[in-house]
Structure formats: structure tokens, C-alpha cells
Amino acid sequence: MTRHFLADDDLSPAEQAEVLALAAAVKESPFDHRPLAGPRTVAMIFDKPTLRTQSSFAAGIAELGGYPMLVDGTLAGIGVRESVADVARVLGRQASAVVWRTFGQDRIEQMADHAGVPVVNALTDDFHPCQLLADLLTVQEHRGSLAGQQVAFVGDGACNMGNSWLLAGATAGMHVTVAGPEGYVPDPAMVERAAAIAATTGGSVAVGHDPVAAVEGADVVVTDTWISMGKEEEAARRLEAFAPWSVTTELFGRAADDAILLHCLPAYRGKEVDAEVIDGPRSVVWDEAENRRHVQKAVLAWLLGGATP
Ligand code: NVA
């Protein structure tokens, strides 16, 4: 059966741990894992802006011995000029895997249903699972473990990053609170889905509406842009709603003394995070950005050929 990585909980707790161990191994010796040698082709499509995702996938696919084929989503007109299903059938005949950044989760699910090769979610409106693997690897490196860590995600909790933190953090046995203003926290169904996982891993999930309560004593503080890609028209409303949710030096000071700050970037200093915090000694955002490459190599190697650490 072809496996895909469309949402964080497509990996069981044991599989997530296996992929993270493989990521640590490929980081240690980048050229020892070459399942795409041939080279085999991986198609990459971006329907939204990208810097880290495109560059880390392209570099990672090359390091795996493969060829990263950039398919222009606008030229292809996916779902407009041709159905998602037909695009999937064509790409599945050309490439060993498909990496796609798009809008609706239903689009990437249709791609997976029809491609016949592994499909990897490079961000949708609902999830950003590759980012979460990078975040988890970064937490593991800086805090020594995942299970039991207390995570506070503050800001726009209703976006892909809030959902993915709930699912991936629960899978890793972490204690995750996603906090945001009223109307900007994950749906109850998503919280329930994550809680069911947490019940099996010893983790826990919660949503909140108080930034100080969420950050108090946290080991890991996470934030994200207040205006996700596709939400630009809501900018004025969002800037107003999120103003009290900035990770200022004062708010970050409520976290544990050795807490770390994560941000998937791009960052807007003076908005969701103070420059002093994101450019300060406890920010690990550059390791986090680098780790995209290592975890994505691990995901592709794992999906394509059962590579083990
Ligand atoms: N929530 C953000 C993540 C950017 C990597 C967005 O969707 O734009």
C-alpha cells in the first residue's frame, strides 16, 4: 500500500519516532542515504509562496541522489485546466513522489488518491506536517527529549501550525496548549482528534485564550505569523485581534528559564514576536529552518523504501 504524509497523524507514534531517528542519522551523515540515486525524480508544486520549503526539498532530494522537478502549478492549472485526479495520474507516471503546497486539504487528498506514488504535504490550509517534524527534531536537539515537554503555541491557533502542533505534539507525548483570541483556536474536532492520540502517548492537549497562562512555565514557546498565506484580505482585523498576543520579552520571560523559541518563519518582528526574542539567545529558529531539509529527506526515504536509521 502506498503511504502518504498528508497530516501529522498519518504517522503513528512509533513511526514518527522512527522518522525522527532517521532524520538525525541523515543530518549526521548526509550522503549515506541515497534511495533516489538513479536519479529518480520527485515532483514539487507550490500553489503558495515558499522559500524554506522549496529550497530544503530541492537540496534534500538532490542529497538523496534524486532530481527535484519543479512543476509550475499556475501553468498546470491544477483543478482548473485539468482535474486534480488527472494531474495526479500524470505526475505519478513521471515521478517517484509528489510534494505539494496548496490550499484545501481535499486537493492533496485527491492527489494522494490518484497518484499511485507517495504524496507529501508541503503545507495546506489545514496542516504543515513537514514543519512539525523539523520543530520536533529541533526540540529534541535543544531539550534532549520530546515526551513530557510543555509547549505553548500562541497567536493564530486556528491556522495550519496550530492544528499540526496539536496532532504532532500529541503523537510525541508532549503537553501542548494552543492559545489565541476567541475565534482563533483550533476546531473542537481537531482538539478531540489530538486528545485521542494524547491518551495513548501520555501527552495532553488544550486550547486557551490567555497568553500569560499558556506561556507560564513552558519549555517551548511557538508562534507564527498572524496573517497566513491566503488571509491577506483579513490583515486589518487580524492585526487588531492579535495585538495582545505578541511574544514580547515580557511574555517570553514567563516561560521556563531555559525555554526555547520556535517560529516556522517568515517572521514579522514587532508583530507576533519581538526582535529581542527571535534574535535572542533562546531562539532556535535557524536550526529549525535547517532541520526542514533533514526531516524531509527522512520522510521521503521512509515513504519510498522503508529506510531505517
Ligand atoms: N501559517 C503560515 C505558515 C507559513 C510557513 C501560513 O500558512 O502562511
Instruction: Assess whether the C-beta atom of 102 lies below 6 angstroms from ligand 1.
Output: no
Catalytic residue among 131, 149, 150, 296: 131
Instruction: Assess whether the C-beta atom of 160 lies below 6 angstroms from ligand 1.
Output: yes
- Closest to 278 (Cα-Cα) out of 248, 308, 234: 248
Q: In whole angstroms, what is the distance from residue 294 CA to residue 285 CA?
A: 15
Instruction: List Cβ neighbours of 18 (8 Å cut-off, separation of 6 or more).
Output: 302, 308, 309
Instruction: Assess whether the C-beta atom of 283 lies below 6 angstroms from ligand 1.
Output: no
Nearest-CA residue for atom 3 of ligand 1: 228
Q: Is 150 a catalytic residue?
A: no
Pocket test for ligand 1, best of 46, 123, 133, 242 (most atoms within 8 A of CB): 123
DSSP class of 42: E
Distance 286 CA to ligand 1 centre (A): 17
pLDDT tens string for the chain (309 positions)?
899 999 999 999 999 999 999 999 999 999 999 999 999 999 999 999 999 999 999 999 999 999 999 999 999 999 999 999 999 999 999 999 999 999 999 999 999 999 999 999 999 999 999 999 999 999 999 999 999 999 999 999 999 999 999 999 999 999 999 999 999 999 999 999 999 999 999 999 999 999 999 999 999 999 999 999 999 999 999 999 999 999 999 999 999 999 999 999 999 999 999 999 999 999 999 999 999 999 999 999 999 985 554
pLDDT score at 287: 98
Q: Is 4 a catalytic residue?
A: no
pLDDT score at 305: 83
Q: In whole angstroms, what is the distance from residue 24 CA to residue 66 CA?
A: 20
SS3 152: strand
Q: In whole angstroms, what is the distance from residue 38 CA to residue 49 CA?
A: 30
Q: Kindly state the cell numbers that stand for 275.
A: 526582535
Q: Is the pTM of this model over 0.90?
A: yes
Q: In whole angstroms, what is the distance from residue 156 CA to residue 272 CA?
A: 9
Instruction: Assess whether the C-beta atom of 161 lies below 6 angstroms from ligand 1.
Output: yes
Distance 224 CA to ligand 1 centre (A): 7
Nearest-CA residue for atom 1 of ligand 1: 228
Q: Does residue 51 contact residue 23 with C-beta atoms inside 8 Å? A: no
- Measured from the Cα of 131, ligand 1's closest atom is 5
Distance 225 CA to ligand 1 centre (A): 7
Rounded to 10°, the helix 129-143/285-305 angle is 120
Q: Does residue 241 contact residue 181 with C-beta atoms inside 8 Å? A: yes
Instruction: Assess whether the C-beta atom of 9 lies below 6 angstroms from ligand 1.
Output: no
Catalytic residue among 4, 33, 114, 128: 128
Instruction: Assess whether the C-beta atom of 164 lies below 6 angstroms from ligand 1.
Output: no
Q: Does residue 123 contact residue 99 with C-beta atoms inside 8 Å? A: no
Catalytic residue among 9, 47, 125, 224: 224
Nearest-CA residue for atom 8 of ligand 1: 228
Q: Does residue 278 contact residue 221 with C-beta atoms inside 8 Å? A: no
